[in-house]
Amino acid sequence: MLLNAIFSIVIGLLLLYILNTVLNLRLLSDLKNFFSYVIDAIADHNTKKYLGRIKRNKIVKSNENIISKYNRIVENIIFDYNLPLTLEGFNSFISILFAALVLVIVFFLKDVTLSALVAISLLVGVITYFTMRSRNIKSAKIESIMDAEDLICPLARDGVLVAIKKVLESDEYLSADIRPFFIQFVENCESYGYSFRRAMEILNRQLGPKFDNFAKKAVIFEYNERKGMADIFLDIVEENAALREINARKNRIFKKMNMNFIMKTALIVIFVAYSMTISELRIFMLESTPGRFILTLTIVAICLSFARCQALQSDIGSLGGESKW
């Protein structure tokens, strides 16, 4: 069945190419113009929806529901991966990808409803994966910020700017992900005429809420320095030590949860793969409605279990302050 469909498509494309060449139909040019029109129409529609959403959010505070949670997840992914998309553009891309997945999967399952369920589950799995990666990136950034604070705080007696310049003397002290922000801070203070307060506000905005406490104390110390006042930074070092201990416990829990999920998924995949080696089971799985339904449930269960596992980890992670990001 599948080979016949592929053969028919190839023959159809070949005939179309011959007709286009002989009759000079310019089908490729017309097709390109059609796609350009569709893309422009989608872009205009997304722009209108984006402007409407911005205006609506300024007037009405949105309620916490599954739509708002989805929007927040997508906006975090767009921000963390620096994607050139708006929420509306991302949704359009997901819709196109969903339609393409359904068209591909329906060749195997021969059922539109089951194909739609599988496509939705796969998209949930993909979004969950990128959310997991995003959370890991944020955790690594928090760790880098804590390392920087631990280096700067003991040196702050001579001034925060001096301490940061000392830390910047070696490339090994600061993570490459946050080092440019501290370099910019020094340049803002010394080369561009920014006040210390303004330069610290910019640095704080670049590094995020984890840096709030240090930034606040740095401004107080800069403008109200007194003897012995540098000890206010020692609290940050102690706080970071406690936070590292909490993160270590969370990471052990996450590792155990991920390992359990991988083991259960591996058992399911091995069972399905083994079933495909037996002709009777393979025919049952691929050709009968109950078999295709079982395959669908398997894929849906794996994807949703993965999403649930990561959602639990996100809830646990919020105990360590990650929800602020």
Element containing residue 153 per DSSP (H, E): none
Indicate whether 267 pLDDT > 50.
yes
Q: Which residues contact 229 (CB under 8 A, 6 or more apart)?
A: 221
Indicate whether 92 pLDDT > 50.
yes
Indicate whether 28 pLDDT > 80.
no
Q: What's the mean per-residue pLDDT of the chain?
A: 84
Alpha-carbon gap, residue 206 to 100, rounded angstroms:
38
Say what the pLDDT of residue 35 is: 64
Say what the pLDDT of residue 212 is: 94
**Half-sphere exposure for 180 (CA within 13 Å, toward CB):** 3
What global pTM score does this model have? 0.75
Q: Which residue has the higher pLDDT, 174 or 42?
A: 174
> Closest Cα to residue 201, out of 179, 221, 218?
218
Alpha-carbon gap, residue 56 to 192, rounded angstroms:
38
Indicate whether 173 pLDDT > 90.
no
Indicate whether 320 pLDDT > 60.
no
